[in-house]
A and B are shown apart, each in its own frame.
Chain A
Amino acid sequence: GAVVSQHPSRVICKSGTSVKIECRSLDFQATTMFWYRQFPKQSLMLMATSNEGSKATYEQGVEKDKFLINHASLTLSTLTVTSAHPEDSSFYICSARATTGPVYGYTFGSGTRLTVV
């Protein structure tokens, strides 16, 4: 089945620094990847849609200069939280969408718990 690898699973960083999170589709090509944020005991909120070779589409209220998304290849998207602050602490989840083949649909990464101190 489809597998999406997300790294790191946990990261602690100092306020003001930047953190990069990687999302890789391991056995399929994903022209579209999605980045979500999940607050404790809440649902997943879509932050942005990442399209290979083009600029990401951000949801309303999400700062594109703060959450930089790069989708350089059909199997890799990265989310960089720039100048992180404690309020950015959250659980970030990526999802890759396969559009053909037996793995059609959305597959989720295992998430990254970011703690900004």
Chain B
Amino acid sequence: AQSVSQHNHHVILSEAASLELGCNYSYGGTVNLFWYVQYPGQHLQLLLKYFSGDPLVKGIKGFEAEFIKSKFSFNLRKPSVQWSDTAEYFCAVSPKAAGNKLTFGGGTRVLVKP
């Protein structure tokens, strides 16, 4: 079974600071990778996803993530955060095999101070 690990549980930043959230997964086969964001009081929204091709994926709201296969990592980055980026971020993995169950990491709560 696959597992997903997010290294930081809480991150506090000031506006305009750069953000990087770590995500590592364990699974023997090929996977699809996702980052979701959950703003306070709202449902999960997809930030970006990687299925194949260019390992550097650009998503919405200025976020990007890089898939490094050798490190089983899919770290999320944003060069300059805004107060509105305050949210919880979840990395998720699903095997490309039949079933495609999505497994989530523990989440990282990001607080951006104005």
Contact = CB atoms under 8 A, between A and B. Distances in A.
A95 B36 CA distance: 13
A83 B51 CA distance: 41
A12 interface: no
A45 B3 CA distance: 12
Interface string B21-35: 000000000000010
A93 B44 contact: yes
A49 B99 contact: yes
Interface residues of A, number: 20
A44 interface: yes
A64 to B, nearest CB: 16
B95 interface: no
Contact of A43 (B46, B49, B94, B106): B106
B100 A108 contact: no
Nearest to B99: A49
Interface of B: 34, 36, 42-46, 49, 90, 94, 99-107, 109
Interface of A: 32, 34, 36, 41-46, 49, 93, 95, 97, 105-111
Ranked nearest first, the 5 interchain pairs of A and B with the lowest CB-CB distance are A110-B43, A108-B44, A43-B104, A43-B106, A44-B104
